[in-house]
Amino acid sequence: MDCPRCNSADHCKAGMVQGRQRHKCKDCGYHYTVVQKSDVKSTEVRRMALEMYLEGLNYRIIGNLLQVSYGTVYQWIRKWGKQAELPRRNAPAKVVELDKLHHYIGTKKYSAGGHNLLLIDMGSDSSLMSAGVKTYTKK
């Protein structure tokens, strides 16, 4: 990178500032840093990664589309997940709707007698109920 003051290409490295390489111009003595590291993605790219993840894409697909490693995408998502506060509901749920659960359970090779599923409250480690699958037919 040429000196922003005198446009000289004669420079040397002069340390690091906030993770960026600092340079010193040998002609005018001006210290300057590179504007942005080449491997840093913009906030727009990071936001697009989050939006794609929320739409259901996995880390590898997002990484391929945005041309970053899937590990980087994973770190971005994990960082945002730690910062986000999820809405909490104090009242217990009375009705739980599980879409297409009957299809999932019905396709299992081994079933334990019928199409029932035991729902467990992970917070208190207690069994809530045994839920049966109710199928609806068009009339």
Q: Can you give the residue range of the structural domain that contains 48?
A: 43-83
**Distance, first Cα to last Cα, the chain:** 73
In a domain, 125, yes or no: no
What pLDDT is stored for residue 10 in this prediction? 92
Cut 0.75: pTM above it: no
Q: In this structure, what DSSP letter does residue 61 have?
A: H
Residues of the chain predicted below pLDDT 50: 111-115, 127-137, 139
Dihedral sign (CA 36, 39, 42, 43): negative
In a domain, 25, yes or no: yes
Neighbours of 62 (CB within 10 A): 23
> Greatest CA span in the chain, whole angstroms?
87
In a domain, 88, yes or no: no
Tell me, yes or no, whether 27 and 56 share the same domain. no
